[in-house]
C-alpha cells in the first residue's frame, strides 16, 4: 500500500502537466455529466411537481365531475379559509408537532443517558434503540392500535392491574389524540436517542473528571457540560423531527383513521382524502401549498443555522 502510493507521487512529480491539464479541461463537462442524473430526477419528482402544484391550486379540477380544469384564481384558498375541517386538521398537525417533538426530545434524552452507561455488552442496548427506528410507522400505528384496544389491549390490562378501570381510547377525541401522540413519541424518540448518544460519546471524560474535582454535582454537570456540548446535534435532530411531525400521516391513519369524526385527522390526511378519495385535485393542491409553506419556514431556519455554523 505505502510503496504503491510512493511510486504514484513520484510518477506524478515526473509528469504533472499532462494529466492535470486534461482534467482541468474536462472538469466542467464531467461535473455536468455526474450531476445530471440527480438533477433530472429532482426536476422530475420535485421541481416540476412543485410548479405544477402551485399552478393547479388556482384551478377547479375535480376528476369525479369530469369537467375540464377551470381557472378560478384564489377560489380554492377562499374555500379553505371557510373550511372548518382545514382549520381542525391544521390545528391537529400543529398540536401533534408541539407535543411530540419536545416529547421525543425528552424521552430520547433519557434513553440516550441510560444507553450511555458503561454496559459490558453494547449490542442489546443498540438494538433496542434501532428496532423502533426501523419499524415502519404504519406498523407502529397498527401495533399501538392493538395496545390501546379497549377490550383486549395491553394498556388497559396494565391499568386494570393497578386498579384503574380501562378506558375506551378511540371513542373520545382527547384520549384518541393522546394515544396517537404517545405512539409517535415512542416511535421517534429512539432516533433522537441515537443522535444524542453519538453526541454524548464524543464528550471527553476529562471534562466530567475536572467537574468532579471542582465539586460540581451530577445535575450541574448535565446542564453545564452535557447540554451545551450536545446542542448542535440536538438542534439538527429537532429540525428534522419537526419537519416530519408536520407531515404526520401513517400513525393516525392506522390508529383512528382520523376519528372519532375528524378529531384526530391531520393536514396530510386531509390532503390525501381530497386527492385520492374525492379526486378534488384543485383543493388538494391548495392544501398542499399550505403544508409546503409551513415546512419551508422550518427549512429556512435550518439552512440559516447551518450557515452560521460555517
Nearer to another protein, 176 or 271 (CB): 271
Is there a contact between 147 and 154 (Cβ–Cβ < 8 Å)? Answer: yes
Least separation in angstroms between CB 269 and another protein = 9
Distance, CA of 143 to CA of 186 (rounded, Å): 12
- Beta-strand pair 70-71/59-60: antiparallel
For residues 182 and 104, give the distance between their C-alpha atoms in angstroms, rounded to a whole number. Answer: 9
Give me the least distance between CB of 222 and another protein, in Å please. Answer: 11
Contact 250, 271 (CB under 8 A): no
| Nearest to another protein of 91, 157 (CB atom) | 157
Q: Shortest Cβ distance from residue 310 to another protein (Å)?
A: 11
49 vs 102, beta carbon nearer another protein: 49
Query: What are the distances in angstroms from CA 270 to CA 90, 103, 192?
Result: 9, 25, 28
Whole-number Å distance between alpha carbons of 258 and 276 = 15
Please tell me the distance from the alpha carbon of residue 171 to that of residue 260, in angstroms, as a whole number.
6
Match 391544521 to its residue by C-alpha cell.
90
Helix, strand, or coil (residue 203): coil
For another protein, the closer of residues 119 and 223 by Cβ is 119
Tell me the closest approach of the beta carbon of residue 243 to another protein, in angstroms.
5
> Please, what is the minimum distance in Å from the beta carbon of residue 152 to another protein?
5
Min separation Cβ 17 and another protein, Å:
13
* Cβ nearer to another protein, comparing 116 with 263: 116
Helix (H, G, I), strand (E, B) or coil at 280: strand
Nearer of residues 46 and 74 to another protein, judged by Cβ:
46
Residue among 32 and 95 whose Cβ is closer to another protein = 32
Cell numbers linked to 42: 429532482
Q: From the CB of residue 165, how many other CB atoms can be counted at a distance below 10 Å?
A: 7
Give least dist CB 180 to another protein, A: 15
Task: Provide, rounded to whole angstroms, the least separation between the CB of residue 112 and another protein.
Answer: 10
Q: Is the four-CA dihedral 211, 216, 218, 221 of positive or negative sign?
A: negative
- Identify whether the C-beta of residue 191 lies closer than 8 Å to the C-beta of residue 111: no
CB-nearer residue toward another protein: 99 or 185: 185
- Let me know: does 129 contact 116? Beta carbons within 8 Å: no
Amino acid at each position: 500500500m505505502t510503496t504503491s502510493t510512493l511510486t504514484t507521487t513520484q510518477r506524478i512529480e515526473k509528469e504533472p502537466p499532462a494529466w492535470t491539464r486534461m482534467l482541468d479541461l474536462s472538469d466542467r463537462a464531467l461535473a455536468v455529466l455526474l450531476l445530471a442524473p440527480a438533477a433530472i430526477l429532482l426536476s422530475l419528482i420535485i421541481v416540476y411537481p412543485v410548479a405544477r402544484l402551485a399552478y393547479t391550486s388556482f384551478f377547479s379540477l375535480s376528476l369525479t365531475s369530469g369537467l375540464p380544469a377551470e381557472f378560478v384564481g384564489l377560489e380554492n384558498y377562499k374555500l379553505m379559509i371557510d373550511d372548518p375541517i382545514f382549520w381542525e386538521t391544521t390545528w391537529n398537525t400543529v398540536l401533534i408537532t408541539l407535543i411530540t417533538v419536545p416529547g421525543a426530545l425528552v424521552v430520547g434524552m433519557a434513553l440516550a443517558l441510560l444507553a450511555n452507561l458503561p454496559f459490558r455488552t453494547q449490542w442489546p442496548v443498540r438494538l433496542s434503540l434501532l428496532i423502533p427506528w426501523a419499524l415502519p410507522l404504519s406498523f407502529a400505528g397498527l401495533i399501538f392500535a392493538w395496545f390501546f384496544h379497549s377490550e383486549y389491549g395491553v394498556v388497559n390490562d396494565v391499568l386494570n392491574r393497578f386498579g384503574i378501570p380501562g378506558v375506551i381510547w378511540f371513542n373520545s377525541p382527547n384520549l384518541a389524540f393522546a394515544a396517537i401522540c404517545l405512539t409517535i413519541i415512542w416511535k421517534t424518540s429512539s432516533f433522537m436517542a441515537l443522535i444524542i448518544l453519538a453526541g454524548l460519546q464524543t464528550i471527553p471524560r476529562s471534562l466530567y473528571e475536572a467537574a468532579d474535582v471542582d465539586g460540581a454535582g451530577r445535575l450541574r454537570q448535565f446542564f453545564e457540560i452535557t447540554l451545551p456540548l450536545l446542542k448542535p446535534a440536538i438542534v439538527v435532530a429537532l429540525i428534522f423531527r419537526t419537519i416530519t411531525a408536520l407531515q404526520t400521516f401513517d400513525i393516525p391513519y392506522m390508529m383512528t383513521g382520523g376519528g372519532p369524526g375528524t378529531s384526530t385527522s391531520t393536514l396530510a390526511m386531509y390532503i390525501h382524502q381530497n386527492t385520492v378519495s374525492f379526486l378534488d385535485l384543485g383543493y388538494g393542491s391548495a392544501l398542499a401549498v399550505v403544508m409546503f409553506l409551513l415546512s419551508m419556514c422550518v427549512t429556512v431556519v435550518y439552512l440559516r443555522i447551518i450557515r452560521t455554523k460555517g
